[in-house]
A and B are shown apart, each in its own frame.
Chain A
Amino acid sequence: MECLLTRLDEKILSLKKRSKKALVAYLVAGDPDLDSTIELMHGFVDSGVDIIELGVPFTDPIAEGPVIQAAHDRALKNNTSLGKIFSLVKKFREKNHDTPVILMGYMNTFLANAKALKESYFLGTDAVLIVDIPGESNLEDFGINKENLASISLIAPTTSKDRIAKICDSSSGFIYYVTLRGVTGSSHLDINEAEKNIDYISSQTSLPIFAGFGIKTTDDAVNLSKISDGIVIGSSLVQMIHEQSESREYKKIYDYLIEMSEAIS
């Protein structure tokens, strides 16, 4: 064995061993503020979340629906930068060593921090998911040094078979299947189409396939977890975080996650 398993590989292996579907939770770093983000990340883990997707705010997030857009705006008002997010992950790692953290965002903010991205691995970041680049591209070609970081790509209902093959080839960690035509938080979930596509993708790769975009209810979660290796919950969490941002009382959110986690196991 020449290299150690990464934190993300280990997590995926352990889920597989236990035949457990992954619960991936998305939140926007810096909304309502960075301290709350860390508190929420730990709370998520305690409520059964396996992997955390940390949204990196951008002024022009074209793949996001209104809920996540507004969260990006609030985070930017708090001057949340990628540099601060790296520090946040480092702080998270003081207490947590086994929950993978994925940075999800837009190319321009990563470009502006190309050098620091390499260092971020040593601060505890495990993967990047850049929404607005072709899934088959190699980040190194854009001067982004992602040494040690897994590169997660999206596959959509509209992705052609030849692109699916290319994207699977250049991905690591897992494949993120976008369950609908639309922005985050939409509600056009089509389970039958998702099932067909996920079946096809799994014939092309040994990577696990997680499904996300538009999961709101436990029914959505259960249905999608049956046909995939895990689910991603985003907009509904971001909405709840915002609703609780006055009181900073997050129990309601944790209860929701516990319910989701139990529903899909």
Chain B
Amino acid sequence: MDNLTNLPNADGFFGDYGGKFVPETLMYALKELDETYSKLKNDPKFIEEIDQDLVHFVGRPSPLYFAKRLTDHYSGPQIWLKREDLNHTGAHKINNTVGQILLAKAMGKKRIIAETGAGQHGVATATVAARLGLECHIYMGAADVERQSLNVYRIKLLGAKVHAVDSGTATLKDALNEAMRDWVTNIEDTYYIIGSVTGPHPYPMIVRDFNAIVGRELKVQSMELFSQYPDAILACVGGGSNAMGIFYPFLEESNVQLIGVEAAGSGLMSGKHAAPLNDGEPGILHGAKSYLMQDKNGQVVDTHSISAGLDYPGVGPEHSNLKDSGRADYIAVDDNEVLESFHMVTKLEGIMPALETAHAFAALEQVAKNFSSSQHIVINVSGRGDKDINTVATMDGMSLD
């Protein structure tokens, strides 16, 4: 497995995947971003500024926590939790926005746009925009505005404008379409903060790099707490930013098994899911070549997941390359397994995971039995579940109104 760490190449490809598949108008903005990032990423002042923000604004490092009762429950490997849910605003998404907003500032952009599914990236973007006093617009599928109403209100409180997107399936992919259209139109003064390791080059690289703090911390913490690297790392995969962030520093550590968990929705066999790495074909959407849920005519098909943040037909191109190279494994869990796991983790550990994150927990049912009690599994707890209580209540047949 050679050279997975040095990707993407100069054209933005991870093996066969990635690239810049965008309308011509955007090419210049991508180049400008690529050049700015290349210059700043090794600039000690820029690095110091991000580090300060990660410590004092985000609250890093996030703990690595031993989940004792969950470990007892599976009576297999030791289960440890990387607590991204404890970050300011409640998810890993802030790691990325704290970094990208500084790029926007360096480029002199006055207007910030972003797409969001679960609303976590919208909140994380509105938060950093508020802090710098920048105008902020968040695109969100109309269906997601409905099911993540708590986050919609948070975004508004932070002073950003939420644009509900009615086109297509009215979910995350359509929010991305609309954000791209805004960007094409307002290219001179607008910075687009993409929320996952998706989109055209250089975004998959930038978003990965800003989230890689999670994996770097884990390297140090696992050595401190159990004197070795984990035997396996589990993370949910929507676009794949929390997974890429925790996987990336371990790509060359071949003894560490990397397992991504996709949303099987109503079941992989039902076709109603959001698991392109498990049941998709390579294709091109939102600026990159990657595994994609599509029909034989190349049309993108509707997805389904209980979790808005995973309800996306594509996936970051680096994951496609990790899949093909065999370096990472990708499995899927369905809505019912996720709900069950959500309840179990909440009751056993006193930690209420986001529905996205609950996918990684639910995968323990398949994965835990393959490991012995001397081994260590780390779950990336990408976010907390407060935003999801309406959805969970509805699924449980309760009304909170």
Footprint of B on A, CB under 8 Å? 58-63, 65-66, 69, 73, 76, 81-83, 106-113, 131-135, 153-160, 163, 167, 178, 181-183, 186, 188
Bound together, the chains give a CA A37 to CA B341 distance in angstroms of 52
Bound together, the chains give a CA A69 to CA B296 distance in angstroms of 21
Query: Which of the residues B174, B287, B297 comes within 8 Å of A81, measured between beta carbons?
Result: B297
Contact A59 B187 (CB under 8 A): no
A-contacting residues, B295-320, CB 8 Å: 296-300
Residue in B closest to A70 when the chains form the complex, CB atoms: B167
Bound together, the chains give a CA A60 to CA B300 distance in angstroms of 8
Bound together, the chains give a CA A107 to CA B167 distance in angstroms of 20
Within 8 Å CB of A111, what residues of B? 283-284, 298
* Given A108-B292, A112-B283, residue A181 in contact with residue B185 (CB < 8 A): yes
Is B347 in the interface zone, CB < 8 Å from A? no
Contact B283 A131 (CB under 8 A): no
* Given A156-B24, A157-B25, residue A112 in contact with residue B168 (CB < 8 A): no
Bound together, the chains give a CA A257 to CA B284 distance in angstroms of 35
Bound together, the chains give a CA A167 to CA B174 distance in angstroms of 30
Within 8 Å CB of B31, what residues of A? 160
Nearest 9 CB-CB pairs, A to B?
A112-B298, A109-B298, A156-B25, A182-B185, A158-B28, A63-B23, A154-B24, A59-B300, A156-B24
Contact B24 A107 (CB under 8 A): no
Is B184 in the interface zone, CB < 8 Å from A? yes
Contact B23 A158 (CB under 8 A): no
Query: Which of the residues A76, A133, A156, A183 comes within 8 Å of B299, measured between beta carbons?
Result: A76
Residue count of chain B within 8 Å CB distance of chain A: 35
* Given A156-B23, A158-B27, residue A60 in contact with residue B285 (CB < 8 A): yes
Contact B184 A108 (CB under 8 A): no
Is B21 in the interface zone, CB < 8 Å from A? yes
Within 8 Å CB of A153, what residues of B? 24
Query: Which of the residues A108, A154, A158, A183 comes within 8 Å of B181, measured between beta carbons?
Result: A183
Contact A159 B283 (CB under 8 A): no
Bound together, the chains give a CA A58 to CA B285 distance in angstroms of 11
Residue in B closest to A66 when the chains form the complex, CB atoms: B167
Is B150 in the interface zone, CB < 8 Å from A? no
Is B88 in the interface zone, CB < 8 Å from A? no
Within 8 Å CB of A132, what residues of B? 21-23, 284, 287
9 additional A-B pairs beyond A108-B294, A153-B24, beta carbons within 8 Å, are: A58-B298, A62-B184, A63-B181, A109-B297, A112-B296, A158-B187, A159-B28, A163-B27, A182-B25
Is B188 in the interface zone, CB < 8 Å from A? yes
How far is the CB of A152 from the nearest CB of chain B, in Å?
Answer: 12
How far is the CB of B132 from the nearest CB of chain A, in Å?
Answer: 24
Within 8 Å CB of B297, what residues of A? 81-83, 109, 112-113
Within 8 Å CB of B173, what residues of A? 60
Contact B185 A62 (CB under 8 A): no
Is B180 in the interface zone, CB < 8 Å from A? yes
Bound together, the chains give a CA A31 to CA B27 distance in angstroms of 31
Contact B177 A62 (CB under 8 A): yes
Contact A107 B21 (CB under 8 A): yes
Residue in B closest to A82 when the chains form the complex, CB atoms: B297
Q: Mark B12-32, 1 if CB is under 8 A from A, else 0.
A: 000000001111111111010
Contact B24 A159 (CB under 8 A): yes
Within 8 Å CB of A158, what residues of B? 24-29, 187
Residue in B closest to A153 when the chains form the complex, CB atoms: B24
Bound together, the chains give a CA A59 to CA B300 distance in angstroms of 6
Residue in A closest to B187 when the chains form the complex, CB atoms: A181
How far is the CB of A240 from the nearest CB of chain B, in Å?
Answer: 21
- Pick 30 A–B contacts, CB within 8 A, sort by A: A59-B299, A60-B300, A62-B177, A62-B184, A65-B181, A73-B168, A82-B297, A107-B21, A108-B283, A108-B285, A108-B294, A109-B297, A110-B298, A111-B298, A112-B283, A112-B297, A132-B22, A157-B25, A158-B25, A158-B29, A158-B187, A159-B28, A160-B31, A163-B28, A167-B24, A181-B186, A181-B187, A182-B184, A182-B185, A183-B184
* Given A60-B300, A62-B177, residue A178 in contact with residue B292 (CB < 8 A): no
How far is the CB of B197 from the nearest CB of chain A, in Å?
Answer: 19
Residue in B closest to A155 when the chains form the complex, CB atoms: B24
Bound together, the chains give a CA A248 to CA B185 distance in angstroms of 34
Contact A178 B24 (CB under 8 A): yes
Q: Mark B167-183, 1 if CB is under 8 A from A, else 0.
A: 11000011001001100
Within 8 Å CB of B327, what residues of A? none
Within 8 Å CB of A106, what residues of B? 284
How far is the CB of A134 from the nearest CB of chain B, in Å?
Answer: 6
Is B286 in the interface zone, CB < 8 Å from A? yes
Bound together, the chains give a CA A108 to CA B115 distance in angstroms of 22
Bound together, the chains give a CA A135 to CA B187 distance in angstroms of 19
Bound together, the chains give a CA A38 to CA B186 distance in angstroms of 37
